[in-house]
Amino acid sequence: MNTLAEALSYPFFQRALIAGVLASIACGIVGSFVVVKRITSMSGGLAHAAFGGVGLGLAFGFSPWFGAVGFTLACALVLGAVYHKRPDALEPTISTLWAGGMALGILLVSLAAGPKPDLIGYLFGSILFVPRDYLWLVSVLDLCLLLGLGLLFKELQASVFDEAFAASLGVPTRWLFQLILAASALVIVVLIRVVGIVLVIALLTVPAIVARQWAESLPRMMVGAAAIGTVCTTGGLLASYAFSVASKADVPSGPLVILLAIGIYGLSSLAGALRNRRRNA
């Protein structure tokens, strides 16, 4: 218990916990759309393509983060167009952006002059070193997502549930799909800084998949996913602190957050199976 109190007394640890909560809110909202629309592989492709943008920024002398935002949004536009116009070409396009983005990023980073960001940092993030300004940025992102949701919820819900029907009533479903992809791209890029490429995909999908097993409506799924994400990031951070103190080694929080999320997914699936068996009995 002492270890816990000690961890919570550090400002950097408090910032990490807040970052985890803010990231979970963004992931709960966007991840729920990604999961019900079955586009998790598209978000995985975007997360890896983002690294290509980082490389472009470093190579051409602009901010790597602007590079990542611009490049990932461009990839989202391409994926959105392919999704509707050439659905048969979607899988190859995702794989190309996925691998090509990473390859481009690694190559350009190695060629760039000056200090180089380390790849592990991009893969697993650095939630313990999140600057205060960044928390504001993620808060603004969360607010924008909530506002967009408040204004467009019924159209978004209809277009992910039954796109053909929504389109027949004049709902701009393609535009809304692009919006969902663009929001995923933004959330991914902003959160790579906090939790890394691997963890952003996990936080985007696993809490939403668990919430979907229990939620009766999309808003409840989002709230559930945000709550599960919060439990995972908080639990992962505390566990990493406790393990680090106990083993006197530097145990990273990212993998612990993911393993915790997967553990919750396993338990939830088991509980869901038991519930169904009881209902059918």
| Per CB under 8 A, 91 contacts other proteins | no
Closest contact distance (angstroms) between CB of 162 and other proteins is 7
Footprint (CB under 8 A) of other proteins, residues 211-230: 212, 215-218, 220-221
- Structure token pair of residue 140: 């603004």
- Structure token pair of residue 67: 């590079």
| Per CB under 8 A, 175 contacts other proteins | no
For other proteins, give the closer residue by CB, 91 or 162.
Answer: 162
For other proteins, give the closer residue by CB, 38 or 248.
Answer: 38
For other proteins, give the closer residue by CB, 136 or 165.
Answer: 165
Binding letters toward other proteins, positions 9-38, x by CB under 8 A? ---------------------------x--
Contact with other proteins (CB under 8 A) among 164, 247, 248, 280 = 164
Give the count of alpha carbons within 13 A of 13, CB side only: 18
Cβ(31)–Cβ(200) below 8 Å:
no
For other proteins, give the closer residue by CB, 174 or 220.
Answer: 220
For other proteins, give the closer residue by CB, 68 or 156.
Answer: 156
Contact residues for other proteins, defined by CB under 8 A: 36, 151-152, 154-155, 157-158, 161-162, 164-166, 168-171, 212, 215-218, 220-221
